[in-house]
Chains A and B, each alone.
Chain A
């Protein structure tokens, strides 16, 4: 997928500009605050249906404008051209159009323009909170199966209701003994959707592991094995989607080698009855803890507490069969960064494998986070399969990178000038 052109008006500090992009590499250089990230944000907005920085309409619309409008010329894998448009108004109005036709639901937007966005924040994926990893995986699943979002949203809604119910008990608004039947109904609804969420998360971890491992080997330039391992909080889910015998003791670097196969999680069962019985098992497990939940006044288990381990184990001759180091806790700065980048690239590979779509890749100020060697490898990996947009404040970070079909711009105060040599000093 490629963004071939863009017409942008009224977006933050960007001057009204029409861009014709390279189908391979586009570089924007400029000092901080001049508008590099704003351009990437404008290009990425349609893909997400929102700002990747979580900005409101009012912040996105130029201070002297009433509305903003962005029109993207997109080319799909099939060669089909797509006009993606969006407009935002100060009164919170939003319009999305696809080939001139208005999209009514935000769900209709999902997957139309696929993008992957890297910035210094995204490389905290491995070190950061479990919520960050859950969100990353959930987004990845939704990209390849939009119906997953329906189950995820329903699960979250039912959980919110259950949380409200338990909160009422904690605050003494209702007697804990009187809500057992209520809780049972909510747990049953939660189990229906949690079964899908757990199963899909486990399957996705398996699906992405070989891609993440390959990307990591190339990026880090060594023979260590990277694995993404789903760690559901529910024991019944753990038993179903993850049956390795070392399910305990996550992150213990002293674990003895030879207990875990290095092939990642075993393939998940695809039997039709699977979801039904996982659902019942989850319901039983949730029922088992109802008493403690009433006592504590909050939900104590469920997919909202899931996590994903990112494990790195040595090459075969130094014990590659070992469960490896849990990078969430024991990874060095460099290791967690490489692993995070490998995971994000793997998400693109999974999307390509399942939907034959290559997302557009945004690299916002990312090279300054990596050493020269890894920067160069990432550059080469990125352009092999994707159209790439690079924003950087330090032209030096580009090094001697001169891929074919490179287009470059300099930005000053929101004004873009096309330049021949992106590394010329600012």
Chain B
């Protein structure tokens, strides 16, 4: 039997306050009602970390911002990557969202800088070229003397189209434009590679 979750009578908890908390938590990414309930009960228990959490959330909200130059998540603005002398300003990696910076930084091989678009072209989600910061990207290229743009966008229809747009936008300039390759994952078994990835890997095969 399914429970009724009427906020007015407090749902299954006999507590409208708890019901409200569970609902709020279950709206967070990756949390279903079950996990939300577990967390909520933990938060209202005697030894609750709630006060510290609230403080941490507020502080993070105060301190964390998007870098005004590249759009990455940062505390100092501009971010350390944008201001670091050790990063090569001539290489600019264009990504869709701030989280896409993280795997690059974790791997640590890339010594250039980033530019976060904050989205991909997708009219069905109301995103057109006007809504993405391409003019800021252009001035960034001029200011920093960028010589190479590496487009690192999703291999989806929206990602491909956005990549095509960026390419078209800068193709007349004295710039190297490149895109991430697609292919067989390192350590991956050939036999379990899907047909399309395999086809691409074959199409863009390299000489020794």
**Residues of A in contact with B (beta carbons under 8 Å apart):** 107, 146-147, 150, 154, 157-158, 160-162, 164-165, 168, 174, 178-179, 181-182, 184-186, 188-189, 192
* Nearest CB of A to B58, in Å: 37
Is residue B68 within 8 Å, beta carbon to beta carbon, of the partner chain? Answer: no
Q: Are B160 and A189 in contact (CB under 8 A)?
A: yes
Residue B96 at the chain A interface, CB threshold 8 Å: no
Q: Is B128 on the interface with A (CB-CB < 8 A)?
A: yes
Residue of A nearest to B130 (CB): A178
Known A147-B195, A161-B158; contact A185-B129, beta-carbon cutoff 8 A: yes
Which of B22-30, B37-45, B109-117, B162-170 touches A? B162-170
Within 8 A of A (CB), among B132-178: 157-158, 160-162, 164-165, 168-169
CA distance A146 to B196 in the complex (A): 9
B161 near A189 with CB under 8 A, answer yes
Q: List 20 A-B contacts (CB under 8 A).
A: A107-B194, A147-B199, A150-B196, A157-B157, A161-B122, A161-B157, A162-B123, A164-B124, A168-B128, A174-B128, A174-B130, A179-B129, A182-B123, A182-B165, A185-B121, A185-B161, A185-B164, A185-B168, A188-B161, A188-B164
Q: Which residues of B contact A182 (CB under 8 A)?
A: 121, 123, 128-129, 165
How far, in Å, is B134 (CB) from chain A's closest CB?
9
Q: Indicate if the CB atoms of A186 and B196 lie closer than 8 Å.
A: no
B157 / chain A contacts, CB cutoff of 8 Å: 154, 157-158, 161, 189
In the complex, what's the smallest C-beta–C-beta distance from A274 to chain B, in angstroms?
14
Q: Quick one: which of A147, A164, A185, A192 contacts B196, CB cutoff 8 A?
A: A147
8 A Cβ contacts from B190-204 to A: 194-196, 199
Q: Is the Cβ of B128 less than 8 Å from the Cβ of A165?
A: yes
Q: Which of B124, B164, B196, B199 contacts A189 (CB 8 A)?
A: B164
Shortest 7 CB-CB contacts between residues of A and residues of B: A165-B123, A185-B165, A164-B123, A189-B161, A157-B157, A164-B124, A188-B164
How far, in whole Å, are A153 and B202 apart by their CA atoms in the complex? 21
A181 to B130, alpha carbons, bound, how many Å?
10
Contacts of B195 in A (CB 8 A): 146-147
Q: With contacts defined as CB atoms under 8 Å apart, how many contacts are there between chain A and chain B in the complex?
A: 60
Cα distance, A237 to B68, chains bound together (Å):
47
Q: How far is the CA of A158 from the CA of B123 in the complex (A)?
A: 10
Say how far B132's CB is from chain A's closest CB, in angstroms.
10
Q: How far is the CB of B125 from chain A (nearest CB, A)?
A: 9
Give Cα distance in the complex from A154 to B157, angstroms.
6
User: How many residues of chain B get a CB closer than 8 Å to chain A's CBs?
Assistant: 20
Q: Which residues of A contact B165 (CB under 8 A)?
A: 181-182, 184-185
Query: Which residue of chain A lies nearest to B129 when distances are taken between CB atoms in the complex?
Result: A182
Q: Decide: A161 and B123 in contact? CB cutoff 8 A.
A: yes
Question: Given A107-B194, A161-B124, A161-B161, 9 other A-B contacts at CB below 8 A?
Answer: A147-B196, A147-B199, A161-B123, A178-B130, A181-B169, A185-B129, A188-B164, A188-B168, A192-B160
B199 surroundings in chain A (CB, below 8 A) = 147
Q: How distant is A21 from chain B, measured CB to nearest CB, in Å?
A: 31
Q: Contact partner of B161 among A164, A168, A186, CB < 8 A?
A: A186
Q: Which residues of A contact B196 (CB under 8 A)?
A: 147, 150
Cβ–Cβ < 8 Å partners of A158 in chain B: 157, 161
- When chains A and B are docked, how far (Å) is the Cα of A162 from the Cα of B129? 13
For B129, B158, B162, which residue has the most chain A Cβ atoms within 10 angstroms? B129
Q: What CA separation (Å) do A10 and B84 show in the bound complex?
A: 65
On chain B, the residues within 8 Å of A160 by CB distance are 124
Q: In the complex, what residue of chain B is closest to A166 when comparing beta carbons?
A: B123
User: How far is it, in angstroms, between the C-alpha of A164 and the C-alpha of B161 when the chains are bound?
Assistant: 15
Contacts of B130 in A (CB 8 A): 174, 178
State the Cβ distance, B96 to closest chain A Cβ, in Å. 15
Report A-chain residues with C-beta under 8 Å of the C-beta of B168.
181, 184-185, 188
Closest to B161 in A: A189
CB-defined contacts of A164 to chain B, threshold 8 Å: 123-124
Q: Do A181 and B123 have beta carbons less than 8 Å apart?
A: no
Say how far A3's CB is from chain B's closest CB, in angstroms: 26
Given known contacts A161-B124, A161-B158, A181 and B164 CB-to-CB distance under 8 angstroms? no
Residues of B within 8 A of A150 (CB): 196
How long is the Cα–Cα vector from A157 to B160 in the complex, in angstroms?
Answer: 12
- Distance between Cα atoms of A165 and B121 in the complex (Å): 10
Which of the listed residues B130, B162, B199 has the most CB atoms from chain A within 10 Å of its own CB?
A: B130
> Bound complex: CA of A237 vs CA of B168, how far in Å?
24
